């Protein structure tokens, strides 16, 4: 890799994790957005998917808190109603367009209950095309069950993340490396902390072996948090403290930024946790921000409900959540600011 290429990748990674801004994950697959649209009674058509995303990308007050947008394959090719490519709307808002490139999780052979993320075949050629379409960063997600971790699953996913990241950097694209310890179970915070540390250490080991330049990537991890079905869930301060502790033990300071996934947390919960991390330690070695999907979009989706006349209300709801998370990414969020919603 040329030094010139690395300085470009580093500049993009820094822009993606700029102070007071975060990444909008608008990369739901057609199947996932079906679930979101079902909740608000909207038919899952290409036109509705486009209109919904166009509504967000044109929300000036919301997009000023957004540094990058992760897109799905369909969306990166779509044009707005007036013919403007959606990628151009994102660029005009000052954000970096990105693309989800993994093909989802599949059962890992001979490992009941474990998964591995697929999508490496043909990825080099897809990166060439996505770069031409305007993508300057990419995302690959691996998932882990904290209740029954397997060395084989953790190792297989770490290797896939590293191979993907190397291919991305080779093609001038910043990789978001997303190892997610899922919060869908009844585990306590101790289990999440233990598995998150194991996953991160294995992932960075494989990134090293694959010669991935840490200065040209962004990490998108889970927070260290109790499972959603746990009988007793850890409080905001404990989540913040344990998350920062694990990150400091596992993430080299060469990484420009860390953008958390929300992973099923409620809107306000995800915001409060991010804010508390900055309050706990204001002198972190990397930028610490958000890369939220549901925690940014649940409110605007409900407000929009597929009706053109609801667009201003939906854009206001999106702007509020983006602003709250922007404040949280600098430790300046306060609960009473939520009243503005």
- What digits encode the pLDDT tens for the residues 18-31? 999 999 999 999 99
At residue 3, the pLDDT reads 53
Q: What is the mean pLDDT of residues 263-273?
A: 91
What digits encode the pLDDT tens for the residues 187-197?
A: 999 999 999 99
Number of domains in the chain: 1
Instruction: Say whether pLDDT at 264 is over 90.
Output: no
Q: 289-321 burial string, b = 16+ CB within 10 Å, else e?
A: bbbbbbbbbbbbbebbebeeebbebbbbbbbbb
As a whole number of Å, the CA-based R_g of the chain is 19
pLDDT value, residue 341: 63
For residues 341 and 77, the model is more confident at 77
Q: How far is it, in rounded angstroms, from Cα 269 to Cα 242? A: 16
> What is the average pLDDT value for the chain, to the nearest integer?
95
User: In which domain, by residue range, is 133 found?
Assistant: 3-340
The pLDDT of residue 282: 87
Strand 66-71 relative to strand 22-26, pairing:
parallel
For residue range 119-164, list pLDDT tens digits in order. 999 999 999 999 999 999 999 999 999 999 899 999 999 999 999 9
Q: What are phi and psi of 21, to 5 degrees?
A: -130, 165
Grade residue 228 by pLDDT with cuts at 50, 70 and 90: confident
What percent of the chain lies above the pLDDT cut of 90? Answer: 89
Q: What residues are labeled active site?
A: 178, 220
Q: Where do we find the tokens 């809107």?
A: 267
pLDDT (mean) for 22-45: 94
CATH number at residue 91: 3.20.20.70
Please give the model's pTM, rounded to 2 decimal places: 0.95
**304 near 248, Cβ under 8 Å?**
no
Cα of 268 vs its chain's centroid, Å: 17
Q: Is 107 exposed, middle or buried (0-12, 13-18, 19+ CB in 10 A)?
A: exposed
- Residue indicated by tokens 């409060």: 272
pLDDT confidence of residue 4: 63
Q: Which pairing describes strands 174-181 and 22-26: parallel, antiparallel, or unpaired?
A: unpaired
Of 48-62, 227-241, 242-256, where does mean pLDDT reach its minimum?
227-241
CA distance 310 to 54: 14
Q: How sure is the predictor about 2, in pLDDT bands with cuts at 50, 70 and 90?
A: low
Q: What is the pLDDT of residues 168-178, one digit of tens each?
A: 999 999 999 99
Question: Look-up: residue for tokens 């044109």?
Answer: 58
Query: Roughly what angle, to the nearest 10 degrees, separates helices 236-250 and 189-209?
Result: 20
pLDDT grade, residue 220 (50/70/90)?
A: very high
Positive or negative CA dihedral for 53, 58, 59, 62? positive
Distance CA 243, CA 239 (A): 6
């Amino acid at each position: 890799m040329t030094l010139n290429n690395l300085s470009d990748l580093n500049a993009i990674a820094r822009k993606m994790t700029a102070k007071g801004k975060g990444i909008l994950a608008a990369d739901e697959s057609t199947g996932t957005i079906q679930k979101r649209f079902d909740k608000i009674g909207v038919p899952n058509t290409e036109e509705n998917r486009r209109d919904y995303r166009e509504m967000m990308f044109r929300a000036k007050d919301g997009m000023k808190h957004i540094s990058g947008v992760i897109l799905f394959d369909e969306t990166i090719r779509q044009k707005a109603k007036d013919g403007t490519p959606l990628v151009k709307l994102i660029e005009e808002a000052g954000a970096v367009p990105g693309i989800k490139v993994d093909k989802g999780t599949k059962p890992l052979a001979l490992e009941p209950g474990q998964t591995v993320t697929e999508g490496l075949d043909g990825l080099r050629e897809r990166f060439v095309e996505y770069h031409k379409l305007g993508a300057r960063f990419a995302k690959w997600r691996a998932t882990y069950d904290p209740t029954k971790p397997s060395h084989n699953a953790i190792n297989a996913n770490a290797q896939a993340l590293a191979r993907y990241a190397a291919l991305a950097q080779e093609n001038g694209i910043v990789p978001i490396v997303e190892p997610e310890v899922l919060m869908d179970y009844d585990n306590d915070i101790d289990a999440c902390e233990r598995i998150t540390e194991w996953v991160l250490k294995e992932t960075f080991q494989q990134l090293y072996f694959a010669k991935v330049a840490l200065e040209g990537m962004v990490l998108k991890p889970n927070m260290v948090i109790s499972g959603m079905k746990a009988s007793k869930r850890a409080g905001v301060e404990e989540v913040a403290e344990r998350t920062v502790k694990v990150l400091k033990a596992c993430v080299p300071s060469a990484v420009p930024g860390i953008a958390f996934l929300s992973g099923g947390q409620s809107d306000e919960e995800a915001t409060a946790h991010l804010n508390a991390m900055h309050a706990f330690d204001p002198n972190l070695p990397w930028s610490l921000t958000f890369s939220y999907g549901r925690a940014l979009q649940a409110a605007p989706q409900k407000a929009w409900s597929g009706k053109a006349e609801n667009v201003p209300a939906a854009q206001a709801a999106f702007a509020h959540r983006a602003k709250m998370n922007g404040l949280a990414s600098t430790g300046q969020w306060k609960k009473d600011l939520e009243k503005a919603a």
